[in-house]
Amino acid sequence: MSAQKAPPPTSNVALDVRDLRMRYGTKDVLTGVSFTADRGEVLALLGPNGAGKTTTIEILEGFRMRSAGEVAVLGQDPAHGDEAWRARLGVVLQSWRDHGRWRVRDLLGYLARFYGPYSTAEVTRPWDVDELIKVVGLAEHARAKVQTLSGGQRRRLDVAIGIVGRPELVFLDEPTAGFDPHARREFHDLVHRLADFENTTILLTTHDLDEAEKLADRILVLDKGAIVANGSAERLARELTTQAEVRWTVDGHRHVHAVTEGDPTGFVRELLAHDTEVTDLEVKRASLEDTYMSLVHRAETSQAETSQAETSQAETNPSETRPAESQAATNGSGRTGEVQS
């Protein structure tokens, strides 16, 4: 039987983060982050550099003390996580460059032994090393020295090291940074396999929206320390397909209007009725990429506006408002501005 008492039957919630705050000195980096993850769910934490992704992950891993908020990781506060709790987590660090002279199988076998005592009735720990080597696609390199592996192979070894203890929850901080497309695709297969066959909960960070869309059941967009979007790629895309951008030219000036609700047809009809000089009319549905960029942009401008007067918005600045735009500004369903061509 197992050396360790099986954990109490836990809820289906693997991660529960409420109003998480982090301040470095006088700088507020996380200003109230809340989200949950169910068991087996793959979450992508997306956001520009400096958004606070690594900070969030390190707090959840128990490597960094938070300033405030409630955090439960596999039912436990990571600030007080014990060894048995830690054994249930997988943390994928940057490459194990110090172990260049070890052979792949020997290194994994050595690390695997630490997890034996944490085997439970539900989860047999560690992975069988040969099986794991196959799962991560390193079977042909089992006898190779770590220093001879390519970048992509090395990263797969990093993942193998992170999951050798058969974790219930895996944290991956920018796992594919620097990957070529082939290594990226192989890594994506591995993540799918962990989620589908092992029911592993995965929280990964990336600033690649395409990657988030491919891998994640749910995408969280973190910007300037707060979650500005939380939903499946489909949901984010659907919310966004209700958005459209209308562009047109009058007197050589290019204009753009974002229709944030409903059908852009009404706006276009009004526009053409009010302004007969309109040319080069274009209506474009927003892609998920556009949505992501506009979310991030909106979060950034709303922050800037707390310290600045709202003089930059065309809809509040009469001198920039043309007849067609004032119509748009009063219907309350969008934003209009003049664009540089």
Ligand X SMILES: Nc1ncnc2c1ncn2[C@@H]1O[C@H](COP(=O)(O)OP(=O)(O)O)[C@@H](O)[C@H]1O
Binding footprint of ligand X on the chain (CB under 6 A)? 24, 29, 47, 49-55
Among Mg ion, ligand X, none, residue 49 binds (CB under 5-8 Å by kind): ligand X
Q: Which is nearer to Mg ion, 54 or 95 (CB)?
A: 54
**What is the Cα–Cα distance from 176 to 97, expressed in whole angstroms?**
17
Q: Which residue is nearest to Mg ion (CB)?
A: 54
Tokens of 285: 């549905």
Q: Which is nearer to Mg ion, 54 or 249 (CB)?
A: 54
CB of 225 to ligand X, least distance (A): 8
Alpha-carbon separation of residue 183 from 107, 150, 166, 208, 334 (angstroms): 22, 10, 23, 15, 42
**What is the Cα–Cα distance from 67 to 21, expressed in whole angstroms?**
6
Q: 145 pairs with which residues across the strands? A: 103
CB of 293 to ligand X, least distance (A): 16
Nearest to 267 by CA among 338, 336, 341: 336
Q: H-type helices in the chain, by residue range?
A: 53-61, 83-86, 104-112, 129-135, 151-163, 181-198, 209-215, 233-241, 264-274, 288-305, 323-331
Among Mg ion, ligand X, none, residue 117 binds (CB under 5-8 Å by kind): none
Nearest to 217 by CA among 26, 37, 3, 4: 37
- For residues 98-118, one letter each, b for 16 or more C-beta atoms within 10 angstroms of the residue's C-beta and e for the rest, the string is ebeebbbbbbbbebbeebeeb
Q: Which is nearer to ligand X, 53 or 125 (CB)?
A: 53
Q: Which is nearer to Mg ion, 33 or 329 (CB)?
A: 33
Among Mg ion, ligand X, none, residue 334 binds (CB under 5-8 Å by kind): none
CB of 53 to Mg ion, least distance (A): 5
Q: Which is nearer to Mg ion, 203 or 240 (CB)?
A: 203
CB of 47 to ligand X, least distance (A): 5
Among ligand X, Mg ion, none, residue 52 binds (CB under 5-8 Å by kind): ligand X
Q: Which is nearer to ligand X, 94 or 148 (CB)?
A: 94
CB of 71 to ligand X, least distance (A): 15
**What is the Cα–Cα distance from 315 to 257, expressed in whole angstroms?**
10
Q: Which is nearer to Mg ion, 168 or 173 (CB)?
A: 173
Among Mg ion, ligand X, none, residue 165 binds (CB under 5-8 Å by kind): none
**What is the Cα–Cα distance from 69 to 34, expressed in whole angstroms?**
9
Among ligand X, Mg ion, none, residue 24 binds (CB under 5-8 Å by kind): ligand X
Q: Which is nearer to ligand X, 153 or 176 (CB)?
A: 176
CB of 62 to Mg ion, least distance (A): 17
Contacts with Mg ion, residue ranges (CB under 5 A): 53-54
Distance of CA 184 to the CA centre of its chain: 16
CB of 31 to ligand X, least distance (A): 11
CB of 220 to ligand X, least distance (A): 12
CB of 52 to Mg ion, least distance (A): 8
Q: Which is nearer to Mg ion, 106 or 174 (CB)?
A: 174
DSSP category for residue 12: S
DSSP string, 83-131: HHHHTTEEEE-S--GGGTTSBHHHHHHHHHGGGGGG--SS--SS--HHH
Handedness of CA 113, 116, 118, 124 (dihedral sign): positive
Among ligand X, Mg ion, none, residue 51 binds (CB under 5-8 Å by kind): ligand X
Among Mg ion, ligand X, none, residue 100 binds (CB under 5-8 Å by kind): none
- Bridge-based pairing of strands 169-173 and 201-206 is parallel
